[in-house]
Structure 1
Amino acid sequence: MDIGSKLRYLRKARHLSSIELAQRANVSQSSISDIECNRRSPRLNTLTSLSRALGLPLSELLPVDDLLEHPLKDNERELLDLFARLDDAQQRHLIDLIRSFAVQREPYKAERTVRS
């Protein structure tokens, strides 16, 4: 299901008009209409606002698994949902932190390979 159809389905399932959803998500009603009619693709911050307004995790509105060869695990999906809620500075800081963890694990990974 494309993002526009999914948004319309979820909005109607919650008995919301496009105006009500727009007000809750702090976006214009024309944006809701354009997305639902697939005239435009929403940006991540718009998707985040819409998912919050609908009371859903971001992954429910935009099923990432449909785009991936291997489905995401629950903890990976949660990480993406939480990441999308951060502002740009927080996202960059978190990426730096994760990179530092990954670099710290590299010697351990190399050591395990040598011992095997």
Structure 2
Amino acid sequence: MSIGEKLKAARKQKRLTLKEVASVTNLSISYISDIEHGKSLPPIDTLTSLCKALDISMYSFFKEEEPMFLRETTLQGELTELLRDFPDWSPEDKEELIRYLKAKKVVREGES
């Protein structure tokens, strides 16, 4: 999949219009469209701006297996925030979370 195709897929996945992305990035609608259709190859700073607007990783353009639609760092940040008060949880809640994570691990290992 080309850079433009990946950008378009990410934009569509997020249900953003070209106009909305153009507004956030200060790029023209026609230029973004040209990139999506493979008529233009964006320089790194433009690609960086588009990735930021679409909340995708630059790395996703170079590694096929990485999901584009949520950055790993976003998920880690969300998890960190959710666990911020973990030391204050009741022992029962802590045990419940550990049991859940262990069960998910067993399921994931069974899928591979």
Scaled by the length of structure 2, the TM-score of the pair is 0.54
Bigger relative contact order (CA 8 A; separation at least 6): 2
Unaligned runs of 5+ in 1: 67-116
State whether structure 2 residue 59 is matched by structure 1 residue 59. Answer: yes
More helix by share: 1
RMSD of aligned residue pairs (Cα, Å)? 2.0
Instruction: After the TM superposition, list the runs of 4 or more consecutive aligned residues in structure 1 that deviate by more than 3 angstroms.
Output: none
Cα distance per residue 1:24-54 (max 9 Å; x no partner) = 1221111111001110101100000000001
Unaligned runs of 5+ in 2: 65-112
Cα separation, 1, equivalents of 2:5 and 2:46: 16
State whether structure 2 residue 5 is matched by structure 1 residue 31. Answer: no
One-letter amino acid of the counterpart of residue 3, structure 1: I
Match of residue 86 from structure 1: none
Match of residue 2 from structure 1: 2
Aligned length: 66
Match of residue 68 from structure 2: none
Cα separation, 2, equivalents of 1:8 and 1:43: 17
Scaled by the length of structure 1, the TM-score of the pair is 0.52
